[in-house]
Amino acid sequence: MTAEERLAQLGLTLPAAPRPLAAYVTVARVADVLYTAGVTCMRDGQLAYSGKLGTDLTVAQGQDAARIAALNQLSILQAELGTLDRVVRVARLVGYVASAPGFGQQPEVLDGASELLVAVLGEAGRHARSVAGANELPRNCPVLIDLTVHVR
């Protein structure tokens, strides 16, 4: 089953690939490795969620924000590669979670992105991961993720 077929089976469609909000590119390729810029939970040009986990948002809302960010990442990969089936392996996901003082469930929040990548890409979606809590993220977004991806 292709990644695009898995998306359809999950009832998901990829949004248009996000555009840079400043002076950078959304993906840089070095040989067979793609490095994506950090993306957020933008949907139709607006943040689907805003604020900090632990005060403004629940863990479940944070997980949904992370899923939306992962869908945005997949749209970047598809735009670059033509098909997600050229992904050999998501090597690494780095995530930042806007966190209120005392909030420590950043790993659970990023599970939303990690689980989506595996659901869509299968074993190629399994990855190493780093997560950090942040006091503030750009435009008051709750979650920002970037990927390092090995491709063919």
Determine the pLDDT at residue 28: 98
- pLDDT averaged over every residue in the chain: 97
pLDDT band for position 21 (50/70/90)? confident
Asked, for residue 152, whether it belongs to a domain, the answer is no
- Parent domain of 33: 3-145
Domain at 125, CATH number:
3.30.1330.40
Asked, for residue 150, whether it belongs to a domain, the answer is no
Q: Mean pLDDT over residues 84-107, rounded? A: 98
Distance CA 111, CA 113 (A): 5
Residue 90's contacts (CB-CB under 8 Å, 6 or more residues apart) are 117, 121, 124, 125, 126, 127, 147, 148, 149
Asked, for residue 99, whether it belongs to a domain, the answer is yes
The number of domains in the chain is: 1
Asked, for residue 68, whether it belongs to a domain, the answer is yes
Q: Mean pLDDT over residues 76-95, rounded? A: 98
Asked, for residue 130, whether it belongs to a domain, the answer is yes
Per residue in 30-46, pLDDT (tens digit) is 999 999 999 999 999 99
